Amino acid sequence: EEIQRETTYPDGKVEKVLKNGCHLIFFPNGTWKKVGSDGKTVTITFFNGDVKQIMPDQTVIYYYADAKTTHTTYTDGLEVLQFSNGQIEKHYPDGKKEITFPDQTIKSLFTDGQEESIFPDGTIVRVQRDGTKTIEFNNGQRELHTPQFKRREYPDGTVKTVYMNGQQETKYVSGRVRIKDKDGNIIMDTKL
């Protein structure tokens, strides 16, 4: 673009005003700033390669050159971080966080301490504040993990529980109950 006016300041800063209305300001340390002709779009390119853009709607996009990471802050408070490995984090104004990993697993961290992860195969893992974990598999099976036991529920209604002492209990839809000790020995079986 054609330069309309150029000013050099005592501190070494140089300002160039272009005919299209853009302002370019060059700082002695290598940082430079471009103010768009609208007066609202601002791009600052820092000496270390970082770039900060302020959009007309006041959205701020900051690119960290060394980490190859982009941090976008929207006016509604949403912050989005995009990492070079493909991971994306969304930080919502209410405190909720959502992380999309490179393998497309999505993990949500809620403000009440609960977590939910959705894996590419459709498996969903939910963790409550007390550490209780529920796993829903894409084949219809469900698992519940508590400090006292792990329980798997099968689509046919069968429920198998393994207690922390190693004892196993299997309840079948037919009403049959089989209990094994920690070594796998059957200690009760109500065959109907």
User: Two tokens at 76?
Assistant: 């509604």
Residue 61: is its pLDDT beyond 80? yes
Find the mean pLDDT for residues 3-12.
94
At residue 192, does pLDDT exceed 80? no
Rounded Cα distance, 19 and 41, in Å: 17
Indicate left, alpha or beta for 165 from its phi (over 0: left) and psi (-120 to 50: alpha). alpha
| Band (191; pLDDT cuts 50, 70, 90) | confident
Whether 123 contacts 136, CB under 8 Å:
yes
Distances (CA, A) of 103 to 80, 86, 159, 165: 18, 9, 32, 36
The model carries a pTM of 0.80
pLDDT at 10 over 90: yes
With a pLDDT cut of 90, the percent of the chain lying above it is 96
Angstrom distance (rounded) from CA 152 to CA 162? 9
- Tokens, residue 89: 């984090």
